[in-house]
Structures are given as structure tokens and as C-alpha cells.
């Protein structure tokens, strides 16, 4: 179960990286085309109607939003998750007696704890200890994975919006240049 959840975590991260790559390509191509044809655009201002500017503005906002959602997906929230879990579990880093199996699985939980006490607890771990730790952390990880996938879905929706808006802006320019 934990392995499957980790796999879904990796899928979300990979999708977010793809969003950033695709949007980087969009930005590069768009700015390349605009900067290479600036003098032509100045000459043919009549070709640029208000709808073209609206489409370009929509594309820019969607592009920025998509990058924002992808970045939020990739952003680590270790501090938030650690504070929340420590409070729920009653773990106090300076108190060995509060160390519980649930807090001795994830590296973010373990790192702030006293290393000798952690080693002592882990060396004494049995099958029940592992099941308790694993089941608690599967639930926590599942919440993180769901959040990441929601952000990625929004990122892809905005990437699609940016692409459609850029195409609409291009069509607008072509149509106006034929008038």
C-alpha cells in the first residue's frame, strides 16, 4: 500500500515537472516569435484587434497560473506536516517517552528527534511497531498525494487554456490581416 502511494506521489511530481517544461516551451516560442517580429507588428497595428490582446492576456494569466500550481505541487511542506503530526501524536522532540512508532517512519519526523533515542526505539521495533508506523504514514502521504494531484490537474487545465488562447490570438491576427 505504501509503495503504491509513493508511486502516485512520483506521478504527481513528474506531471508537475512536465507542466513546467511545456509552459517553458510555450513562453520561449511565444517570446521568440514576438521579439523577432516586433518591427512587423509595429507596421501592422491594424492587424492587432482588442480580441487579440484579450486572448494574449488570457494566455499570460493562464500560463502564470499553471506555473504557480505546478510549483505549489513541487513545493515541500515538511515543516507544516511535521508540526501537525507532532501535535496530533503528542511528540515532543526533547522527551524520549513521547516518541511513537507513527513518528519514526518519515525522515521529516525523525530528523528533529534526538538521534540516540531514535536509534534505540528503532532497534527495538517489531512487526507491530512497523504496521503502526506504516498505516499512519500511508494516510498522511495519501493526503499529500491527493493535494499534489489536485494542483497538477489545475495546472494542466490552465496550460490547455493558455494554448487555446495563444491559438485564438494567432487566428485573430491572421483573420484581421486578411480584412
- In the chain, where are the structural domains located? 2-34+48-178
Of 41, 43, 63, 36, nearest in space to 52 by CA:
41
Q: Rounded to 5 degrees, what angle do the CA atoms 41, 46, 47 make?
A: 65
Q: What was the pLDDT predicted at 81? A: 87
Give the burial string for 1-26 (b: 16+ CB within 10 Å, else e). Answer: eeeebeebbeebbebbeebbebbeeb
Q: What was the pLDDT predicted at 45? A: 60
Q: Which residues contact 167 (CB under 8 A, 6 or more apart)?
A: none
Q: One digit per residue, pLDDT tens: the chain, 179 residues?
A: 777 888 888 888 899 999 999 989 988 887 777 776 656 666 666 578 899 889 999 999 999 999 999 999 988 888 888 999 999 999 999 999 999 999 999 899 999 999 999 999 999 999 999 999 999 989 888 998 999 999 999 999 999 999 999 999 989 988 888 87
Rounded CA gap, 151 and 71, in Å? Answer: 9
Q: What was the pLDDT predicted at 131? A: 94
Q: What was the pLDDT predicted at 164? A: 96
Amino acid at each position: 500500500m505504501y509503495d503504491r502511494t509513493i508511486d502516485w506521489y512520483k506521478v504527481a511530481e513528474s506531471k508537475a515537472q512536465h507542466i513546467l517544461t511545456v509552459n517553458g516551451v510555450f513562453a520561449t516560442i511565444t517570446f521568440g516569435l514576438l521579439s523577432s517580429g516586433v518591427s512587423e507588428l509595429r507596421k501592422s497595428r491594424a492587424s492587432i484587434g482588442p480580441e487579440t490582446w484579450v486572448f494574449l492576456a488570457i494566455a499570460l494569466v493562464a500560463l502564470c497560473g499553471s506555473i504557480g500550481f505546478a510549483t505549489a505541487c513541487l513545493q515541500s511542506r515538511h515543516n507544516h506536516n511535521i508540526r501537525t503530526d507532532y501535535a496530533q501524536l503528542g511528540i515532543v522532540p526533547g522527551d524520549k517517552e513521547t516518541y511513537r512508532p507513527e513518528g519514526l517512519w518519515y525522515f521529516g519526523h525523525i530528523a528533529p528527534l534526538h538521534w540516540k533515542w531514535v536509534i534505540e526505539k528503532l532497534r527495538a521495533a517489531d512487526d507491530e511497531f512497523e504496521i503502526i508506523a506504516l498505516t499512519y504514514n500511508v494516510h498522511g502521504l495519501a493526503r499529500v498525494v491527493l493535494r499534489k494531484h489536485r494542483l497538477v490537474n489545475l495546472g494542466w487545465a490552465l496550460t490547455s487554456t493558455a494554448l487555446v488562447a495563444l491559438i485564438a490570438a494567432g487566428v485573430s491576427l491572421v483573420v484581421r490581416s486578411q480584412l
